[in-house]
Structure 1
């Protein structure tokens, strides 16, 4: 009898095994990358935002203004109770129009300015990585000092060329100033070149502030090109990425914003499937 009472008290005062097993791995609502709906946004920005909002998503990462001014886009977001937390731009804009980039990001209400591609010819080299580090430190400092914004780099696969005991991606992370330069982990463009996103998250922790949630079709063997047909983007949980391990590592690392990105032509079916998969992860 005493044994049964003790067991009962333990169940009352600590999480049960059942509760632990049913705990959600991904309790938050994901955001959305505008590129997922790029074809729809080109035709009608307002209607596309309505479509995304109907999915329960209110956090956006825009990498295109789709013919609007930043103020016009912000107004459409505000009217729908939506927000833009990250603003993606191209490398030339950072090099040549950084004050305009900063002002647009502030107008949109973004906290982050993100770039996803470093221009280079052929294989990414150590010299290219050294220039990238110098540029990133400069971009990040100016965006932080002048606009209070955080600069993020989104990996695209080519940065994982071998270098010493690691890769050129390691070199970039280790030689950029954590005060001014953070990272957005695109998990497809981590797995495609043969890397482990969970291991990177464990290694660099809160250097990763943002994440693109994607999955890579089973059977696809990647490379360091930074490119694969868009049809190889599949619904979350149906591809080859160990999303449970990735999301557990991301939660531990303290990733701030997660965005679904699906480059495929099948977003009408795949995006709802991905959202349902995230909700059901226990």
Structure 2
């Protein structure tokens, strides 16, 4: 009887482990998702976000607000701000100001989502400039207890030597000062130079954050960094293999996942995407 009880307990523990959801981190959102709502009222938008079940935000103060004011509004609703954004120009000109705002928001990460370049002509010179700026600014942020991340946008996957400009960026930036945020849609849209799964395996813990975003089936990426809003679709209905991606992301050590929906149907798409993640 004792052996049977032990076996039953072991089976119960195994079953509980087997049924543990794949996506078990706090749900975060990228503020750009609600770009049409925030101008109508920050508090009412945060109320809507809270009701959806979000507890983490990637973003910053809205127009006319200080970082402290925005943080208090989020705090009052149980929403933390682990990551905030900045422009390339801000990083280049005044990284200390970027650090000061991030700390005022209570953020740990600062991300930049665009490297300036001429039209669709992203090239080696643009990449080298980014390496220089990211290493210098990343050092300042690190000295302030922050982690800098560059968010890929598709155009970095153009071929360079035996790899891509994204490979060049990752290999030539200092891991002490520069990390990365994977935007799954833009990685797929990069034109097949490397899948999200391949990049997570190749660069492991250089990835710190993730934009959970899906690209419509049938869309072929063109390395432009641009695509129509209607190509953002409900998670699980597009091209991304989320089970594989999330398993590899967890293995790489990514802790913050921000759902971003650039469509004009975010109030329809987001609840469906959340339901999909919870089903994994």
User: What SS does structure 2 have at the residue aligned with 1:210?
Assistant: strand
Gaps of at least 5 residues in structure 1 are: none
Using a 3 Å threshold, how does the CA distance of structure 1 residues 20 and 70 change in structure 2: closer, same or farther?
closer
Alignment match of 1:186 (pick from 180, 183, 191): 183
2:129 alignment counterpart: 131
Gaps of at least 5 residues in structure 2 are: none
Alignment match of 1:80 (pick from 77, 81, 84): 77
Q: Is the 8 A contact 1:41 1:66 kept in 2?
A: no
Q: Is the 8 A contact 1:63 1:89 kept in 2?
A: no
State the superposition RMSD in angstroms: 1.9
Alignment of 1:1-282 (within 5 A): 10=7, 12-13=9-10, 19=16, 22-62=19-59, 65-121=62-118, 122-145=120-143, 147-193=144-190, 194=192, 195-281=194-280
Stretch deviating more after TM superposition (203-212 or 14-23)? 14-23
Using a 3 Å threshold, how does the CA distance of structure 1 residues 85 and 265 change in structure 2: closer, same or farther?
same
Q: CA deviation at 1:272?
A: 0.5
Q: TM-score, normalised by structure 2?
A: 0.93
Q: CA deviation at 1:17?
A: 7.4
Task: Kindly tell me the number of residue pairs found equivalent between the two proteins.
Answer: 277
Stretch deviating more after TM superposition (244-253 or 64-73)? 64-73
Aligned equivalents of 1:25 and 1:204: distance in 2? 21
Stretch deviating more after TM superposition (255-264 or 25-34)? 25-34
Aligned equivalents of 2:84 and 2:20: distance in 1? 32
Aligned equivalents of 1:187 and 1:97: distance in 2? 29
Q: CA deviation at 1:66?
A: 3.0
Aligned equivalents of 1:125 and 1:37: distance in 2? 32
